[in-house]
Amino acid sequence: MGAYADARTRSLTDPSGFWLDAASAVAWDTPPSIGLDDSAAPLYRWFSDGALNTSVNALDRHVEAGRGDRVAIYYDSPVTDSRRAITYTELRDDVARFAGVLAGLGVGVGDRVLLYLPMIPEAVVAMLATARLGAVHSVVFGGFAPAELAVRIDDALPTVVVSATCGIEGSRVIEYTPLLREALALAAHRPDAVVIKQRPQAAASLVAGDVDWDAAMSTAVPHGPVPVGATDPLYILYTSGTTGRPKGVVRDNGGHAVAMAWSFANVYGMGPDDVWWAASDVGWVVGHSYIVYAPLIAGASTVLYEGKPVGTPDAGAFWRVIARYGVNALFTAPTAIRAIKKEDPDAALLAEHDISSLRTLFLAGERLDPDTYAWASEHLGIPVVDNWWQTETGWPIASNLRGLEPMPIKAGSPTVPVPGYDVRIVDGFGEEVDAGQDGAIVIRLPLPPGTLPTLWGDDERYVDSYLRTFDGYYTTGDGGYVDEDGYVFVMGRTDDVINVAGHRLSTGAMEAVVASHPFVAECAVIGVHDELKGQIPRAFVVLKAGAVIDPDLLRQ
Ligand code: AMP
């Protein structure tokens, strides 16, 4: 058998053995003896007798192994015209200090810390400092509207909120402080403190209960790592469901660390000496898994890029950053490649940069259409690898496994199920269909380590949303087929979620916003095809009798 077939078979027939072996890549305070814990099935747990600290895995152990001078983060911010290389020792020290700040504000094991931050190193520091205390972070995408932020504050009930005075989009400075203050006014829950990083682009005057990031850090006492149970939560990440209420996807500490280490090596083929760039945002799951946790747990260098790589400042930004840091693999969404293709169809800008370090381009977040695949393959001359997953799983369900056993690529397919995921295609009655036939893509339980064990504070909603439709299976919400060679083809959502430029949006949530307009009697939001973004939302609206049909007013 080849390495893939071997790993796949063992992961499904002996999941505990397979993942306990993989767990040896992680530093444990108490190594687990249990792999799969099915005592509360269908709520499965992994490594339930193990204990560890995730920030130790991402930082301290590399410093202790003599790799403290290695660059952990290349922060590159064309929007502020600044760049910084942060070593593992420096990052560990900042994280320990910020953990001291959080502990001083009363954050302890299991408490939540909500982060509302742009793509600055402080975002990574705050995530890892929360993890260091055994607390639970919830990163809300910077610039999310106050109402969205308020819903998340009321669900996560954070002890502390960490924010910055602004984010920057292109040449626009988006002030976060007024958005945060409005969200806090809307929310029923009151955090004990708000920590604010003052950025030079926007000053904010602090109010009672606010803590200035820099002032607090200058006097902070470094805090050591607190070991937690493997099944204790590391973070909550909210994602769109089919209703207006977001789902708080929970990630645990142990399974997550193991899945990050395993996938970075086996799916992405990356090692500790590599430079890796996931061009996403820490507010999304790709940012959590592959800007922050996987590369740092592996001891590699990760690029933290503030700004949209396309259009800011130009379509050559990708190639310039790759050349600057000797990036070995880039992970982005097909939309970004389509945007470059539109601005620079012959890839003339590529020739201006030496990108010979780049081994692989990984694309995910939405379907990789064969045209985009062909354009990228032709111009880059390296493998262009689609990988399919979702916020809930935290790491790829299907991919070409570049580290384990690279396989021939078929345009339009993310290749094969990743070991640990027992992918099946079923019809509406839950019966498996033949190769080549369309159906719902489901995963036979249990899901592997690192995937969501539940939704925050709501086991019932977890079961209802994902496990109820087909008994014994996790419903991905995607439809597609598997061909005769076992290649998976993911064609689109089967529910009321649409995908806009690689971002998942709930039509239900958008309908709720449109329906709140005083003129609107009824509305429906659907996704329509868009050349660049894959889909864009369109609202159909029935106005109330007597409403003035003035497009300007309707926009209010
Ligand atoms: P999110 O949870 O925001 O990452 O969105 C996950 C959803 O995006 C999946 O359920 C799919 O509908 C879609 N998606 C992500 N990656 C791919 C891919 N490689 N091919 C097709 N669809 C994808």
pLDDT surpasses 80 at 279: yes
| Cα 459 to ligand 1 centre (Å) | 23
> E strands of 327-417, at which residues?
329-332, 360-363, 384-388, 398-399, 416-417
Give the least confident one: 46-50, 80-84, 129-133, 514-518: 514-518
Angle, helix 254-266 to helix 15-22, in steps of 10 degrees: 80
The DSSP symbol for 466 reads I
- pLDDT, tens only, 140-155: 999 799 999 999 999 9
| Cα 287 to ligand 1 centre (Å) | 14
489 sits in which H/E element: strand 488-493
CB 525 within 8 Å of CB 507: yes
Phi and psi angles of residue 400, each rounded to the nearest 5 degrees, phi first: -90, 125
Domain spans of the chain, in order of start: 2-307+389-482, 502-555
- The residues near 83 (Cβ < 8 Å, ≥ 6 apart) are 74, 75, 76, 77
Best mutation site among 238, 280, 362, 389 for ligand 1 pocket (most ligand atoms within 8 Å of CB):
389
Phi and psi angles of residue 534, each rounded to the nearest 5 degrees, phi first: 85, -65
CATH, domain 502-555, list 2.60.120.10, 3.40.710.10, 3.40.50.800, 3.30.300.30: 3.30.300.30
Closest ligand 1 atom to Cα of 388? 19
The whole-angstrom separation of Cα 225 and Cα 293 is 16
Please report which confidence band the pLDDT of residue 521 belongs to, taking 50, 70 and 90 as the band edges. Answer: confident
- Tokens 């390296």 belong to 382
Specify the pLDDT at position 551: 65
> What's domain 2-307+389-482's superfamily in CATH?
ANL, N-terminal domain (3.40.50.12780)
> E strands of 19-61, at which residues?
36-37, 45-46, 51-52
Q: Is the CB of 386 under 6 A from ligand 1?
A: yes
Which residue has better confidence, 7 or 498? Answer: 7
| Cα 214 to ligand 1 centre (Å) | 38
CB 456 within 8 Å of CB 248: yes
Q: Do domains 2-307+389-482 and 502-555 have the same CATH topology?
A: no
Strands 329-332 and 166-169: unpaired
Q: With 0-12 CB in 10 A as exposed, 13-18 as middle and 19+ as buried, what is 315?
A: buried
Q: Is the CB of 506 under 6 A from ligand 1?
A: no
- pLDDT, tens only, 292-329: 999 999 999 999 999 987 665 578 999 999 999 999 99
User: Amino acid letter at 238?
Assistant: Y
Specify the pLDDT at position 313: 53
Cα end-to-end span (Å), the chain: 63
- pLDDT, tens only, 347-382: 999 999 999 999 999 999 999 999 999 999 999 999
Of 254, 235, 181, nearest to 20 by C-alpha is: 254
In DSSP terms, which residues pair with 385 in a beta bridge? 362
